[in-house]
Structure 1
Amino acid sequence: MSWTEQAGRWMRRLLSGAESLLASKMEPCVACGASNDGTRKLPVCRRCWEAIPWIHEVCCAKCGRYEACPDCPRRIDTYYDQNRSAVRYDERMKEWLGQYKYRGQESLRSVLGPMLLHAYHLHRQGPSGGADFGKPASEFISYVPLSEQRYAERGFNQAGQLASELGRLTGLPVLPLLLRTRHTDKQSFKGRMERLDDLQGVFALEPGAASQVAAACRQGRVRVYLIDDVYTTGSTLNECSRAIKTTLPLEVCGISWAR
């Protein structure tokens, strides 16, 4: 074999090894398992990426709904300042959340968590949808707590995991600001009035985290972003905000993954 042929064979082996190394580092789509070329901002394939129903414009300035809202005009007392959500809760998003929340596919936190960054930026548009909402002196991230029973069943708090992902991307501190004082049945099976009755008085401040936020309130304007997976009627966010604002003089803004 000539030197040229040997060099050519060596080069082909080198290229083949490089291709194998790159392929081994290319993770499959976290959502569906299909091949993923790694060129998108989320660890998903092109098909899943293009199917994400992002919310780009809101119709209700208060809750962030992308269509006419029947709930906000009916609410007598609204304690949260505004809510923004990343995506519409369509069938594909229901499947993703089901895989993550109920079937134990916790790797999906690396998809759903970074998606909250979109909702975080929507807050910058403010209540009018265009005016700057303004940056406060201090910002914190917190999340809707689970009861001990629900945590034991699921093994993790999806809202807490999503909050951690958003905190990692924004650099904002994540605090367990709220406690759940009693267990409640799943809210998805209840009507609006049942939700309101069931959630009254169910949330309370966690003393340590509340002291940290109270100290920041004495220094200037404070905003807490409260994370949850799905915003339906706003009952959970409103009751959480009531518990916070009863003691702390600050803004509470909801960030939910889906609406």
Structure 2
Amino acid sequence: MEGGFLLPLKMLWNKILELLIPPACLVCGNRIDDRYQVICPDCEAKLYLIGEGTCPVCGSENKELPCEVCAEGNFAFDSAISVFRYSGPVRDLIHILKYNGYSSPAGYFALPIAELIESKPVLKNYDYICAVPLHRVRKRERGYNQSDLIAYSVAKLIDMPYFNPVKRRINTLSQTLLSRDHRIKNLAGAFQVKNKNLVAGKKIILIDDVFTTGSTLNEIAKTLRSAGADKICAITVARA
């Protein structure tokens, strides 16, 4: 209850500070010319983009085929793509977005994801974008869903419809410290499709912040498949 009350105040205070204090890099604190840049050129130079040559299904940088990650994951989505490696300034920005009440990193991350989708003609033909949902209790504590902010911004940038067809019906334990097997057990039955008419026969882009083991994305993909989804592409800001 306390977190749900304090976080909106923290977000409001951050907005006031943004107006009163000259813009600074959210990662290192150095001055920047434009607050919409979010991070300074020095920190931006440390971002590690994931290039071509990844597994076409799970997006792993593993160069060996058949892909060992796919063999272990048995993924229900058709493909997974990540923009950055989860390290350095990207890791810091995601943490700031999730826990510090700053929403500006969402727009910062949305731009390269939008460019990624625009660069792949097959993805431009998908029906809509959705985000990995938070349980209502977790969302109330945090004040917002960071994946929702990113996905909504992406949809606006590329003029693609945005829906949330899946809800999180179980408030599961945090996945952060769990092993891969425990992550899978923790998520079993956690998601539910709200409206099958928004899913049946649809091509869906599913957006989240970080791909760690893929357990969360995979469980949602299974839920969407059971409701008749045709294609599912999972896109994350970063890959752990």
**Shorter-normalised TM range:** 0.7 to 0.9
Instruction: Tell me what 2:189 maps to.
Output: 201
Aligned to 2:221: 241
Partner AA of 2:61 in structure 1: Y
Q: 2:85 aligns with which of 78, 85, 88?
A: 88
* Residue 54 (structure 1) aligned to one of 28, 49, 54: 49
RMSD: 2.4
Deviation at 1:106, TM superposition (A): 1.8
Q: How many correspondences in the alignment?
A: 215
Instruction: Answer yes or no: is the 8 Å Cα contact 2:44–2:89 preserved in 1.
Output: no
2:131 matches 1:143: yes
Which residue of the partner structure matches residue 7 of structure 2? none
Deviation of the 1:92 alpha carbon:
2.4
Aligned to 2:209: 229
Give the match for residue 36 of structure 1: 32
The TM-score normalised by the length of structure 1 is: 0.75
1:183-240 Cα shifts (integer Å, max 9, x gaps): 1111111111001111111111112xx42444xx3xxxx3210011000111111110
Take 2:229 and 2:106, find their aligned partners in 1: how far apart are those partners? 32
2:42 aligned partner, one-letter code:
R
Equivalent position of 1:162 in the other structure = 150
CA distance in 2, matches of 1:84, 1:111: 17
User: What is the TM-score of this pair, normalised by structure 2?
Assistant: 0.80
Contact 2:117 2:124 in 1 (8 A): no
Cα gap change, 1:228/1:204 in structure 2, threshold over 3 Å: closer, same or farther?
Answer: same
Residues 6-51 of structure 1, C-alpha deviations (whole Å, 9 max, x = no match): xxxxxxxxxxxxxxxxxx9x9544554433345xx95432212222
d(CA) in 2 for partners of 1:213 and 1:199?
A: 20
Shift of 1:119: 4.1
Gapped regions of structure 1 (runs ≥ 5) = 1-23, 125-131
Amino acid at match of 1:227: I
8 A Cα contact 1:30 1:111, kept in partner: no
Assess, with a 3 A threshold, how the Cα gap between structure 1 residues 184 and 249 changes in structure 2: closer, same or farther: closer
Are 1:256 and 2:236 counterparts? yes
Larger Cα-atom Rg = 1
| 1:35 aligned partner, one-letter code | R
Q: Secondary structure at the match of 1:187?
A: coil
